[in-house]
Structure 1
Amino acid sequence: MNEAQRAALKAASGWYARLCSGSSDASEQQAWQRWYDADAHHRQAWQQIEKLREQLGLLPGPIASSTLRGVDHGRRRLLGSLALVGLAAPLGWFAWQSDTRRYWLADYRSGVGERRQWQLSDGSELTLGTASAAQWHVDGQRRLLRLLSGEALIHCPGEARPLLVETRHGLVRSQGARFCVRSDEQGSQVAVLEQHVEVAPLRHLQSMQTLTAGHHLRFDAGQLGSPLANDAATAAWTQGSLIALDQPLGEVIAELARYRHGVLRLDPALGGLKVSGSFPLADTDRALAALEHSFPVRVVRRTDYWVTLVPKV
């Protein structure tokens, strides 16, 4: 693939995301048509996306989008759905947008160390954890929350329209549940606190599995993990705490690092140390002090933004 083809494919993916966002208007549709007609590379790139969409197939029925009126039938078939999982491939919205761009385009955002709450237009309650972002779309058929990054607690009222939560790895469907969803580069996790949800990985969206209250599982684009029982740590972030239950210190530090600016590092010699305790997420310096007091570690500060935990001698 040459540079022109790569550029056309990137642009096609961008147009796909914009036209499926639910916020495009007639002028944007006309601009897309001009882009499509302007170059053979553009048309070939668009055909690749359509072909990939068809190959991935087996997607749930389309979500109607009034923004796509006037687009010819063949293209409307692709664009008319919000494509519940973006494009479900490396050409997709999640891959095309950089992390920074996704964050600033979001309808709802939280900063590093923040926990923010909103009531959505359908009455659902949304809480975002640290450095998280989400987009929201609602129409006559479905309610769609795209979790772009981070973690969310959702409590949705039961009604005929399902609430769909999309991550880069798959889909969660609910009609009245209270549940948490988290997404990172390696995969996503859903934990059900009340009622039940259905979960499907990106590549198998028609094979939804029910997950009941009191359980959580991780999934990636290809498969679901085994359901596990929730424990005190599962949704502790919603109460502002990090609870470690005989957990490797490396995992605890990685989680605390999400809640503070700068660099938080761990000496490799401490990676296997297991720790337990409850640590405040709103004050990570206090959490580090608690670790230093209770375990054989020492906190070394070059600056407030460069902190390393080393073995205590």
Structure 2
Amino acid sequence: MTEAQRAALKAASGWYARLCAGDSDTHEQQAWQHWYDADELHRQAWQQIEQLREQLGLLPGPIASSTLRGVDHGRRRLLGSLALVGLALPLGWFAWHSDTRRYWLADYRSGVGERRQWQLSDGSQLMLGTASAAQWHVDGQRRLLRLVSGEALIQSLDEARPLLVETRHGVVRSEGARFCVRSDEQGCRVAVLEQRVEVAPLRHLQAMQPLLAGQQLHFDAERLWAPRANDAATTAWTQGSLIALDQPLGEVIAELARYRHGVLRIDPALAGLKVSGSFPLADTDRALAALEHSFPLRVVRRSDYWVTLVPKV
């Protein structure tokens, strides 16, 4: 690694810690954008920081700061690891640009464990779930909400211009509907609560298909799955709850993990255990305690940011 690459990685780690601290303002975000755009080495370093962020389990800013910018010998070891990670990254890993970059530049953002609400400039209502972000654009012909990451509840106004919700997997078109959209790397789910929407996957945008109130479906860039009925779990997150209906414990834990900082893991031996119940998303420790009380498992804490569920012996 050259000195220039090392310096870029040090700067990138500092920017990551500052932005994740939760108190960055528009001026600081613009300064980061200027740094990011100024040099290809900066962009490469930021991509490497993003990869390490995934390996560290999305640690919050203060923890990331001590990890990424700790004592000198620790930093040198980390930077060496970053170099190896960078060499291993496939070129297509950031195909939809940088999610982290889009998150910080988004018009609307929520942190881990947060639910936030806004009224958009056209009067529509937007709620974002945990660690979600959206960009908003209005012109004379359309209204566009780009869901960068996470999940959203949208109450769109019925007017001449359609509201388009764009995700990496496709588009949802609304003219006055109330609906939820959730997007991740695997695909997208849309659930209609009132009125109707139209949905199209990215590769077939001309083939819009209707989805009616009370229905939901999953789609990716290639195809739409068959619609199915909404249930009690569909919008539970908007009320701060996770409702499991005879659901594998592995899926429940994966959902709870989205609402807490650090790493939450489950022993594979427990992943298929079927669970039903309602769990508070604002207090995931209480949710884990309820699971520990009701099922043959133990919650093992290496720290507040590293928790594993293992079988009770």
Common fold by TM > 0.5: yes
Deviations 1:200-245 (A, max 9, x none): 0001111100000001000000000100000000111011000000
Contact 2:292 2:299 in 1 (8 A): yes
Matching of residue 201 in structure 1 with residue 219 in structure 2 = no
Tell me how far 1:271 sits from its aligned partner: 1.0
Cα-to-partner distance string for 1:235-264 (whole Å, 9 max, x where unaligned): 110110000000000000000000000000
Supply the distance in 1 between the matched residues of 2:96 and 2:224 (Cα, whole angstroms). 24
Name the counterpart of 1:250. 250
Which structure 2 residues correspond to residues 1-313 of structure 1 after superposition, within 5 A?
95-313=95-313
Aligned length: 222
- What SS is found at the alignment partner of 1:217? strand
Distance 2:230 2:295 in 1: 26
Deviation of 1:100 after TM superposition, in Å, equals: 1.0
**Using the alignment, how far apart are the partners of 1:113 and 1:230 within structure 2?**
24
Assess if the C-alpha contact under 8 Å between 2:176 and 2:195 holds in 1.
yes
- 1:304: Cα distance to partner? 0.5
Q: One-letter code of the match for 1:266? A: I
For residues 96 and 295 of structure 1, the distance between their equivalents in structure 2, rounded to whole angstroms, comes to: 40
Helix, strand or coil for the counterpart of 2:269? helix
| Displacement after TM superposition at 1:302 (Å) | 0.7
Q: CA deviation at 1:96?
A: 4.5
The letter for the 2-side match of 1:212 is L
Cα drift, residue 171 of structure 1? 0.3
What is the alpha-carbon distance in structure 2 between the residues aligned to residue 96 and residue 224 of structure 1?
Answer: 20
The one-letter code sitting in structure 2 at the alignment partner of 1:224 is L
1:54 alignment counterpart: none
Deviations 1:63-88 (A, max 9, x none): xxxxxxxxxxxxxxxxxxxxxxxxxx
Contact 2:156 2:175 in 1 (8 A): yes
Shift in Å, 1:276: 0.5
Seq. identity, %: 87
Amino acid in the other structure paired with 1:307:
V
Question: 1:38 aligns to what?
Answer: none
Q: CA–CA distance in 1 between the matches of 2:99 and 2:210?
A: 30
- Report the Cα offset of residue 97 of structure 1: 2.1
* Aligned-partner SS, 1:238: helix
**Cα distance between partner residues in 1 of 2:236 and 2:161:** 29
TM-score by length of structure 2 reads 0.70
**Deviation (angstroms), 1:143:** 0.3
Q: Which amino acid aligns with 1:173?
A: R
The amino acid that maps onto 1:211 is L
User: Which amino acid letter does the alignment assign opposite residue 105 of structure 1?
Assistant: L
Tell me the distance in 1 between the aligned counterparts of 2:183 and 2:96: 17
Q: Which amino acid counterpart does residue 257 of structure 2 have in structure 1? A: A
Return the alpha-carbon distance in structure 2 between the equivalents of residues 129 and 183 of structure 1.
11
- State how far apart, in whole Å, the 1-side matches of 2:98 and 2:197 are: 29
Q: Whose helix fraction is larger, Structure 1's or Structure 2's? A: 2
With over 3 angstroms needed to count, the CA separation of the structure-2 counterparts of 1:226 and 1:277, relative to structure 1, is same
What is the distance in 2 between the residues matched to 1:223 and 1:197?
17
Q: Which ranges in structure 1 are unaligned for 5 or more consecutive residues?
A: 1-90
